[in-house]
Amino acid sequence: MNLVTLQQPSRIVLGEGATQRFAEEFVAHGFKRLFLLTAPSILPRLEGIIQQIEASGTKVQIYNRITAEPALDEVLEIIDQARDFSTDSVVGIGGGSVLDTAKIVAAFVNSKQQVSECFGIGLIKERGVWCACLPTTSGTGSEVSPNAILLDRAEKLKKGIVSPYLLADAAYIDPLLTITVPAKITAETGMDALSHCIESYTNRHAHPVVDAYALQGIELIAKNLERAVKDGQDREARAALSLGSYYGGLCLAPVNTAAVHALSYPLGGEYHISHGLANAILLPPVMRFNLEANIEKHAAIARAMGVDCEGLTPREAAEKGVQFIADLAERCGIPTTLTALGIGREKVGELADAAMKVTRLLVNNPREVTREDAVAIYNELYE
């Protein structure tokens, strides 16, 4: 058995009502200056807990202008604001972009290191202030992962920072916070979570303890995503997705993602395609490419999703599973080609060049990906 290190916030509160529990526990901590990051669409729903926190004597500064995946220069500006406010606690309530930003602000607010020096794995040297994350989408798993992704505008590439210092101190996962997420974002973030589970399960560094989380996540997401997309108020489906997304997030620290994420980053960096959508589009072709490396595991993915595999060979089951995912994405309204996203075929070479730079994830892929392979995978995404 290979070595694995499990990391997650030391406190996880999961279930309906976690948001209210957060407010109570935050007040009990006795912090005096809360820097709260959120998004404009979420803020109105937080009035009650903000009032409760302010009533306890805590000053609250709100930054609610994060609407898309954050760029490095924006994050530096937010860190300055948090520093000027002398914050002693940082909380993110939002999607992955908000949570990633909150984690970076918390880590760097009192640090002498530059954020730009820390792209990569394990380069942050010290801990900042206390940080909690409350996800409002079921997708990125950022609330329990040591990862944050930023856009480097100069290089037009999404870059990752991975560090134990980016782990939140506490995560409060409340399915009720996800009830109002629009269908499109539900679909895209759900496919991101599914890709976390699949990419860690089939990973070169996969581990039985992480496989258990991953298979649970695959089953929950595959069986509930369409329900939540079609009816956002379906509390049972929302709860299942919250749990599935949490399992996907748990896979990130010990094992992490692979070629789906590596090939998706150039779509975000250059064309501002959302992280979830980029992964959703790339998941089926990368799975087809990877299938050879471990047919049994790909067949197990199909069975976990509830695909009828009776009488099929492992290869047939694995292929049926990939098709199920492609069909699921389509039923959830996700475009399935780069043609549909308006990215011309002449761009494939540039996309492949950019993807080959994401070596920290490509090394995890169960099958080696050459530049030619990357070109072939992107080319599959044209009509």
**Least Å distance between CB 307 and Fe ion?**
23
**Least Å distance between CB 351 and Fe ion?**
18
Taking residue 358's Cβ as centre, other Cβ atoms within 10 Å add up to 23
- Residue 1 near residue 207 (C-beta atoms within 8 A): yes
User: Phi, psi (5° rounding) for residue 135?
Assistant: -75, 140
- Residue 73 near residue 80 (C-beta atoms within 8 A): no
**Least Å distance between CB 240 and Fe ion?**
19
End-to-end CA distance of the chain: 43
**168 closest CA partner among 240, 253, 82, 72:** 253
9 versus 248: smaller Cβ distance to Fe ion? 248
Q: How far apart are CA 74 and CA 151, in angstroms?
A: 10
Of 186-194, 240-248, 266-274, 290-298, the segment contacting Fe ion by CB under 5 A is: 186-194
148 versus 317: smaller Cβ distance to Fe ion? 148
Closest residue to Fe ion in the complex (CB): 192
Joined tokens for residue 328:
């699921």
142 versus 216: smaller Cβ distance to Fe ion? 142
Q: Does the footprint of Fe ion cover residue 69 (CB under 5 A)?
A: no
192 versus 219: smaller Cβ distance to Fe ion? 192
Of 4-12, 32-40, 188-196, 353-361, the segment contacting Fe ion by CB under 5 A is: 188-196
Q: How far apart are CA 55 and CA 37, in angstroms?
A: 19
Joined tokens for residue 143:
């609330």
**Least Å distance between CB 214 and Fe ion?**
14
DSSP three-state, residue 41:
coil
Residue with the two structure tokens 């991101």:
192
Kindly state the number of chain residues that form the binding site for Fe ion, as judged by CB under 5 A: 1
261 versus 320: smaller Cβ distance to Fe ion? 261
The binding track of 189-228 with respect to Fe ion, each residue x by CB under 5 A or -, is ---x------------------------------------
Taking residue 272's Cβ as centre, other Cβ atoms within 10 Å add up to 12
**Least Å distance between CB 257 and Fe ion?**
6
23 versus 286: smaller Cβ distance to Fe ion? 286
Positions that interact with Fe ion (CB under 5 A): 192
